[in-house]
Amino acid sequence: MSDLTWWQKAVFYQIYPRSFADGNGDGIGDFIGMTARLDHLVRLGVDAIWLSPHYPSPFLDCGYDIADFSGVGPEYGSLDDFKAFLAAAHDRGLRVVLDLVLNHSSDQHPWFAESRASRDNPKRDWYIWRDGKEGGPPNNWVSIFGGSAWQLDEATGQYYYHCFLKEQPDLNWRHPELKQAMFDAVRFWLDLGVDGFRLDAVSTIFETEDLRDHTATISEKELFDGWRGLRPDLDPAEIDRQMRMMLSNQFDLPEVHEVLQELRQLIDSYPDRVLIGEADAISYYGDGTNELHLVFNFPLMRTNRITAAHVRDNQAERLGALPPGAWPCNTLGNHDSPRMLTRYGDGEHDAALARMHTALLLALKGTPFFYYGEEIGMQDLILTDIAQFRDGMATNVYAMAIAMGMPADEALAAAAQMTRDRARTPMQWEGTAHAGFCPDDVEPWLPVNPNAAAGVNVAAQSEDPASMLSFYRRLLAVRRATPALLAGDYDDQHEEAQEYFAFLRSYRDQVILVVCNMSPEPRTIGFYYDQPHVRTLLSTHERAAQIEDLARLELAPFEAYLGELTM
């Protein structure tokens, strides 16, 4: 196991800086607050932190509209505060990975201010400017967040391209000076000692040079109505196919791989650093050694119910497609998706399902990532007033729905169901008014989920052996102490089973059996191995330390069981 790198053995914990801990009492999370809470992560048992954007930003896209790639947003503190946070994390054995947004900047970035100043400005081509066509945009491309992907600049009479919000102009990676400037920003953080980067929306950094129109035949309104279930005549697979056609000139171009290979060379010139990609295509591993170290297994989480068939098919496809030398990477939630307990719950067994899904995530082969607050069972918060929303994507959807004639209450409900704000509410440390995130007499930037007062908080769960937090601590300790869970091969078992999912993790002489009963009924399962007994490592339910008869392994509803095969 000594041949594994730190990031292959690590459990990553994603922090959304604005929502983790407010250290200066202004209702916004910051580095002082995060530094003060690092011991929680140490006791939890994680190994590395992925930090969502902390850069200066107008915050129209929740920090992903960056106004300075080498700075710290003043609401989060100073660069010295960041350095103190990094040093404190390293002192505790925690690695720190930053978000790196390569596709775009904020329209408030000094580079864009120069670029839009005139057509002959030296930085004009650092962004993508084109003349209009027939009195409109250069082509029919759409923004991910709705509407045209082109914005007219009245002063210079040209359009600039934005894959996301109009306040997020795309960078022109075909311009050598822009590429050099971005690589300089990467070096800045590496020289400070950060341990790597998670690359945001990396597949979007190039678009076709000839600006040819997409050939999708569906309209934006039809897509919108299809997603809302108002067009039963539109098959979901056809909606997905049309969406991919609509974006085919804006995603996954071959030039992306060229930039990633150059970035990998830069990263590899620093010891023990990692590149993690937000991307769908497994091709971003390159040949397994020359592009990203880790690519999120997003297909695993793209379901509303975790079933045996779904996980089995996902693992077979994912592990089978990895190039030689590549390492898998699994997650079931992040800042862009509903919280795990909410998304995969059934309204009756939510806590049991959350424990089973977490045990599964940490037992699968590969590096696991989980999101802040999952360890105490935080849930989505449905916002009831559009004034509470901070997610530009959701407010765009609300405005589009109103423009399409939808009643305001329906538009609000649609926005509330898809906004990313619902999973970004403040971390719940205590059962007080604002959950210990900020002082009780200060309004937090997003509302605190009321369930903090009902025990969904760190203080209430910290010393309770039956709590979700205690379960997470035990699970992470088991994983860290079990070589087969870190480095072992993966071998699917009982491949026809529909109500449960079983697999082995094997490393040298150690064999671990993992079984998840994915049904609300108790189940007896027979396993027949040369090692007939199993030593219990962890279960989501009360268990004997040793099970003598694997031919009759009895599992409770939604139980996850991990045991070491013995003679």
Q: Which of 47, 278, 374, 380 is catalytic?
A: 278
Contacts of 56 (CB under 8 A, 6+ apart): 66, 67, 68, 71, 72, 73, 74
Q: How far is CA 531 from the centre of its chain?
A: 39
- Asked whether the beta carbons of 389 and 398 are under 8 A apart, the reply is yes
- Asked whether the beta carbons of 283 and 257 are under 8 A apart, the reply is yes
- Asked whether the beta carbons of 366 and 329 are under 8 A apart, the reply is yes
Helix (H, G, I), strand (E, B) or coil at 86: helix
Give the N- to C-terminal CA distance of the chain in Å, as an integer. Answer: 24
Is residue 430 among the annotated active site residues? no
Contacts of 503 (CB under 8 A, 6+ apart): 315, 363, 490, 491, 492, 493, 514
- Which residue in 380, 288, 278 sits closest to 331, CA to CA? 278
Phi, psi angle pair for 189, to nearest 5° = -75, -35
Which structure tokens are listed for 96? 């720190």
Helix (H, G, I), strand (E, B) or coil at 96: strand
**E-assigned strands of 303-409?**
329-331, 367-371
Phi, psi angle pair for 337, to nearest 5° = -130, 165
Is residue 200 among the annotated active site residues? yes
Distance from C-alpha of 544 to C-alpha of 547, rounded to nearest angstrom: 7
Q: Which of 107, 167, 200, 380 is catalytic?
A: 200
Pairing assessment for the beta strands 510-517 and 158-161 based on DSSP bridges: unpaired
- Asked whether the beta carbons of 127 and 175 are under 8 A apart, the reply is no
Buried b (16+ CB within 10 A) or exposed e, 264-286: beebeeeeebbbbbbbbebbbbb
Distance from C-alpha of 331 to C-alpha of 372, rounded to nearest angstrom: 13
Catalytic residues: 200, 278
